[in-house]
Structures are given as structure tokens and as C-alpha cells.
């Protein structure tokens, strides 16, 4: 088992950084690369988490727990070589007083522009930034109101896609390959997975494009959208599902790496989007959670998780992550591959 393209070091492509606000101008460092997508959440106070990316540009934020349209009053003012700069601009989301924050950072890095009629790739023009080593791309497009396809910039089919309308209030929607192409799940709500053929036109992504239907959440005429696309990379990322057992000796999920970041959603029933990482809790068991759909501060989820050298394991009976017979989807990114290209095994926490 070997990993190429630099994935022996997952922190070259994803990293979590903690910081404390200064209520002024703050250069957050320690990311290890220039981030292209930054997701920030206040830990010690009640505030929605906010997303920034290089494709939409600095100061343009989206709130993962809200239907709000994109705003231009965001607090992130620069993407830097080892992090980003935040200011206190009055939104109180990314640099408020002396509160503690967590930032999750992903690298894309290579820009693209696709004129669909000229290239024959897809039916809707798109622009974006991609990284095929890590299987991540950020894609901007304008809807047509008709079934269509959009170039995503990757060389393999995405397993998970998050789409948000930018110019008007609308739900975040998620395509997840284990749910299938007939619908998906809302990021900003607790709802179970829904069946809606107008989201993705009942068509799975290919190695070049993803499909969108006629729904305003993904393809209203003249509306603007952003899509975050994720393809699986061995030893770095995994987008799967599992069934809970309702037992304190809970379900073990093999990922092929020691996780650095994990987000879990019960797809078979109502539940929060629980988020865990290796920096806020650097040891097992992990109980400190944040929820992508909530504005709340960091809390004890009661849904405890262990990060292991080759996956993660539920260690509690909370229905948020381990109800008996319930189905859960997850997104996970690595701290270390289980075994590197030189044969080095990941250590337990």
C-alpha cells in the first residue's frame, strides 16, 4: 500500500488552526500553505460559522447554518502564504473580542475557466480552482434554469459536493455518493436525506462534470452558485456511510488513515451535523463538538468519538452518531495515512 503525490503529508492540503481573536487586525498563521477555502467557527461564543474562498474572493462570506445570500462584509481580508488575515468589521464572526476560534483550511490552488460551448465539457460555463492531488475543487457558475452539467476541474468523480446559491437566500444542498443522485441532504438543517430529482437531475458526477437539475437550490436561471467538490484520495480523504449499533462499544469505520477532521450527519432521520478535529481535542475520546448547522458555541456532544490509526470509532450511544440501525454519512480528512509510501505506520492517539 503506497501513497503518491505528496499525500504522505496530508497537512500540505488540509489543516486545522486554532486562534484567539484580538478585535482588530489579526494574521492567523500555522496553516502550512496558502488556503483556498477557509471555514471558521467561534468556539467560545454563539455565532454562525462562515466560509471564505479564493474563487468568490476575500470578504465574501457564506454562513453554513443559514440560508443567507453571500455578503461582502466578511472579516477575512487576505489569503496569505501560511494562513489568512481577519479583522473586526462588525459582523463579529471571525475576530470578535478575545474569543477563541477554529479554522479549517483546504488547499486547491490551480485556477481554471471553462467555456462549455468551446470546450465541449459540460453545458454551463464555470470557473474555479482545483487540486487533483487532494481531490478538491471550488467551482463558480451561473444557473440556466434547465438541466445541465458543470465542469468541476477534477480528474475523478466527486463523492461529495456542497452547493450554495450566492445571490439570494437558499438552502445549502449536499450530494453524497452513498445517498445517491436522486436527492441529498441540507447542510444548514437537521433534516434527513430528501428525494428530489431537480437537485442533481438523478445523474451522478463523472470524472469531468457534475449534473444539476432545475431547482433554485442548484440551478435557477441567472442565479450565481458556488460548489465545493471532493473526490476520494487514498490515505487522505474518505466520504462514506455507516450504520450505528446503539452500543458504547460502537461502530468502527475504516478510512485508511488517522483522521484529522470528521463531520457526521445522520441521513436516515433528523439530527445535527457534528464536527470533530484533532486540534480542539488532541486525545481520545473526543466529545468537544461543533455543528455546521448551528450558531452555538462549542459543546459536549455526548456523541463521543475516538480517532484511530486507520479510522474512527463511536464510543457512546448518542443518537447523533450511533443510534441502533440508523444510517450516517461522513466526510473525513487525514492527519496521517495508515501506512505511508515508505512503510511508516500511523500511530494511535
Do 268 and 321 share a domain, yes or no?
yes
In a domain, 285, yes or no: yes
Q: What pLDDT is stored for residue 338 in this prediction?
A: 60
Do 193 and 267 share a domain, yes or no?
no
Q: What pLDDT is stored for residue 301 in this prediction?
A: 77
Q: What is the mean pLDDT of the chain?
A: 93
In a domain, 342, yes or no: no
Percentage of residues in the chain with pLDDT exceeding 90?
85
In a domain, 204, yes or no: yes
Is the model's pLDDT at 89 over the cut of 80? no
Do 261 and 331 share a domain, yes or no?
yes
Q: Which of 230, 250, 272 represents a domain boundary (last residue)? A: 230
Residue 344 makes CB contacts below 8 A (sequence gap 6+) with none
Residue 9 makes CB contacts below 8 A (sequence gap 6+) with none
For 120-143, how does the pLDDT look when each residue is reduced to its tens digit (9 = 90+)? Answer: 999 999 999 999 999 999 999 999
In a domain, 343, yes or no: no
**Nearest-angstrom CA–CA distance, 139 and 56:** 9
Do 97 and 126 share a domain, yes or no?
no
Do 115 and 102 share a domain, yes or no?
no
Answer whether 0.85 is exceeded by the pTM: yes
Residue found by looking up cell 480523504 in the block: 237
Is the model's pLDDT at 156 over the cut of 80? yes
For 268, the 3-state DSSP assignment is: coil
In a domain, 346, yes or no: no
Give the burial class of 127: count Cβ atoms within 10 A of its Cβ; 0-12 exposed, 13-18 middle, 19 or more buried.
middle
Q: What is the mean pLDDT of residues 270-281?
A: 95
Q: Which of 230, 245, 278 represents a domain boundary (last residue)? A: 230
Q: What pLDDT is stored for residue 1 in this prediction?
A: 41
Do 259 and 186 share a domain, yes or no?
no
Q: Which of 183, 208, 230 represents a domain boundary (last residue)? A: 230
Is the model's pLDDT at 35 over the cut of 90? yes
Q: What pLDDT is stored for residue 347 in this prediction?
A: 66
**Nearest-angstrom CA–CA distance, 311 and 304:** 14
In a domain, 344, yes or no: no
Do 180 and 258 share a domain, yes or no?
no
User: Residue 197 sits in a domain of what CATH number?
Assistant: 2.60.40
**Nearest-angstrom CA–CA distance, 39 and 272:** 18
* Domain interval for residue 138: 110-230
Do 219 and 255 share a domain, yes or no?
no
Q: Looking at the 3D structure of the chain, how many domains does it have? A: 3
DSSP state letters, 82-113: TEEEEE--SS-SSS-TT-EEEEEEE---EEEE
In a domain, 131, yes or no: yes
Q: What pLDDT is stored for residue 244 in this prediction?
A: 97
Do 30 and 91 share a domain, yes or no?
yes
Do 116 and 147 share a domain, yes or no?
yes
Q: What is the mean pLDDT of residues 267-285?
A: 94
Do 36 and 147 share a domain, yes or no?
no
In a domain, 294, yes or no: yes
Strands across the sheet with 83-87, in order? 25-29, 83-87, 76-80
Do 258 and 150 share a domain, yes or no?
no
Closest CA to 293 of 140, 67, 82: 67
Q: What is the mean pLDDT of residues 178-201?
A: 97
Amino acid at each position: 500500500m503506497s501513497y503518491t503525490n505528496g499525500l504522505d503529508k496530508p497537512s500540505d492540503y488540509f489543516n486545522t488552526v486554532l486562534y484567539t481573536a484580538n478585535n482588530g487586525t489579526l494574521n492567523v498563521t500555522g496553516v502550512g500553505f496558502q488556503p483556498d477555502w477557509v471555514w471558521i467557527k467561534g468556539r467560545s461564543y454563539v455565532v454562525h460559522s462562515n466560509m471564505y474562498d479564493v474563487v468568490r474572493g476575500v470578504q465574501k462570506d457564506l454562513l453554513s447554518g443559514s440560508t443567507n445570500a453571500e455578503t461582502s462584509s466578511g472579516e477575512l481580508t487576505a489569503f496569505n502564504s501560511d494562513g489568512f488575515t481577519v479583522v473586526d468589521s462588525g459582523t463579529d464572526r471571525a475576530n470578535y473580542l478575545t474569543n477563541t476560534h477554529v479554522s479549517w483550511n483546504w488547499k486547491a490552488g490551480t485556477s481554471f475557466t471553462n467555456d462549455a460551448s468551446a470546450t465541449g465539457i459540460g453545458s454551463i460555463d464555470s470557473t474555479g480552482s482545483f487540486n487533483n492531488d487532494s481531490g478538491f475543487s471550488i467551482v463558480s457558475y451561473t444557473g440556466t434554469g434547465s438541466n445541465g452539467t458543470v465542469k468541476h476541474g477534477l480528474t475523478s468523480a466527486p463523492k461529495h459536493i456542497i452547493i450554495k446559491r450566492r445571490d439570494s437566500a437558499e438552502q445549502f444542498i449536499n450530494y453524497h455518493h452513498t445517498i445517491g443522485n436522486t436527492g441529498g441532504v441540507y447542510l444548514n438543517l437537521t433534516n434527513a436525506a430528501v428525494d428530489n430529482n431537480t437537485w442533481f437531475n438523478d445523474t451522478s458526477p463523472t470524472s469531468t462534470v457534475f449534473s444539476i437539475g432545475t431547482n433554485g437550490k442548484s440551478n435557477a436561471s441567472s442565479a450565481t452558485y458556488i460548489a465545493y467538490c471532493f473526490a476520494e484520495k487514498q490515505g487522505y480523504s474518505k466520504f462514506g456511510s455507516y450504520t450505528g449499533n446503539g452500543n458504547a462499544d460502537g461502530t468502527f469505520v475504516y478510512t485508511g488513515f488517522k483522521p484529522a477532521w470528521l463531520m457526521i450527519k445522520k441521513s436516515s432521520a433528523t439530527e445535527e451535523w457534528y464536527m470533530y478535529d484533532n486540534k480542539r481535542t488532541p486525545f481520545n475520546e473526543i466529545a468537544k463538538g461543533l455543528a455546521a448547522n448551528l450558531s452555538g458555541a462549542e459543546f459536549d456532544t455526548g456523541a463521543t468519538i475516538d480517532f484511530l490509526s486507520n479510522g474512527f470509532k463511536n464510543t457512546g450511544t448518542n443518537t447523533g452518531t450511533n443510534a441502533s440501525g440508523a444510517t450516517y454519512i461522513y466526510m473525513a480528512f487525514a492527519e496521517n495515512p495508515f501506512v505511508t509510501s515508505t512503510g511508516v505506520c500511523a500511530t494511535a492517539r
